[in-house]
Amino acid sequence: MKALPTTLFTAVATACLAFPLYAGAQVSTEDYLFYDSFESGDMSATNDDGFRWTNGRARSLVTSTHRIWSASGPTNDPIPDGANWDPHPEGGDVSLRFRYRAGEAMSEQRFHLGQAREELWLRYWIRVPDNFTHGSGNPSNNKFFFIWGDRYNRTPEIGLTFWRSSQGSRLTYTVNAGGHRGDVEFIRSPDDRGRWMEVALHLKTASGEGANDGVFRFWRRWHGDSSFTKYFDRNDLDLRVPEGESPGFLQGYIMGWANAAYSEETEWLVDRFIVSLEPFEDVLNSVPPPSPPTGIKIETSYND
């Protein structure tokens, strides 16, 4: 495993002294391909592969009291009245904020791995907004996380999208921009407002042309839970890499377009973004997914 660059290693080591990366962690910091706690106060974190945070929209870095970085650079703007930017409860001061203005559909942060990878493990924390109510627009699908290779909406690509339901939101996934699959309870409104969740993904491209053995697995746990719950577990996907293209997953984005725009300003917070080539042992020791509930309706008409 390549060592982290000195500047990033120093930031990570400092963060580790301040708080544990996550309860029950089985992988040391040196085993991560990339880690960003955002405590640097900017979006400059990188690694030997050349990871970089790229284009974004309506996102910034915040503490509990100030916005400290925006697309135009460092700033020191006081928190607006009524906002809540409380950081992750286990420590640290800075979070990546996604701001969806009332009636507007876009807040996003893109990233580039620097080097394509056939197999990856990713995890990060995300906070449900205090006022979260899934928008009333149709179709109701809002982007959550996407990752792909050289070309968007082409193989290999995995996308996560959440939809309005009678109890809040439900989560589905897409493969190579195809139809929505899965459908699991994701956020209950108002019960889950203000809660931090940690999500984890395992991705692996298919072994070759015509080999439907690509892997996508997804887990989630709420802060305070002792273990993760596995929601999606597939090892039979057509995640082939086209001839002549970069050999694996290369780029992606967090959050993104909300077809069902929010009726009032709604802000998500993200923290502790990790990319690894090694499995997360605490994630693997997860519990099976819950049984599907009955009597819940989800709107599934699709529109990018």
Give residue-wise pLDDT tens across range 75-130: 999 999 999 999 999 889 999 999 999 999 999 999 999 999 999 999 999 999 99
Q: Is residue 293 part of a domain?
A: no
Q: Could you tell me the pLDDT band of residue 11, with boundaries at 50, 70 and 90?
A: very low
Percent of the chain exceeding pLDDT 70 equals 85
Tokens standing for residue 301? 């008409």
Indicate which CATH number applies to the domain containing 136: 2.60.120.200
What is the CA angle 100-54-180, rounded to 5? 60
User: What local confidence, expressed as pLDDT, does residue 26 receive?
Assistant: 43
Pairing of β 196-204 and β 214-222: antiparallel
Q: Is residue 141 part of a domain?
A: yes
Residues 153, 141: Cα–Cα separation, whole Å: 16
**pLDDT value at 244 more than 80:** yes
User: What local confidence, expressed as pLDDT, does residue 93 receive?
Assistant: 97
Q: Is residue 253 part of a domain?
A: yes
Q: Is residue 185 part of a domain?
A: yes
Q: Please tell me the number of Cα atoms within 13 Å of 299 on its side-chain side.
A: 21
Instruction: Give how many domains the chain has, as a whole number.
Output: 1
User: What local confidence, expressed as pLDDT, does residue 294 receive?
Assistant: 56
DSSP 58: S
Q: Give the domain extent around 53.
A: 6-284
Segment 262-283 shows an average pLDDT of 97
Percent of the chain exceeding pLDDT 90 equals 82
Q: Is residue 300 part of a domain?
A: no
Q: Is residue 248 part of a domain?
A: yes
Residue 187: strand pairing partners: 169
User: What local confidence, expressed as pLDDT, does residue 30 receive?
Assistant: 62
Q: Is residue 290 part of a domain?
A: no
Residues 239, 112: Cα–Cα separation, whole Å: 19
User: What local confidence, expressed as pLDDT, does residue 297 receive?
Assistant: 53
Residues 269, 183: Cα–Cα separation, whole Å: 24
Q: Is residue 62 part of a domain?
A: yes
Evaluated on CA atoms 260, 109, 160, 154, the torsion sign reads positive
User: What local confidence, expressed as pLDDT, does residue 48 receive?
Assistant: 95
User: What local confidence, expressed as pLDDT, does residue 31 receive?
Assistant: 73
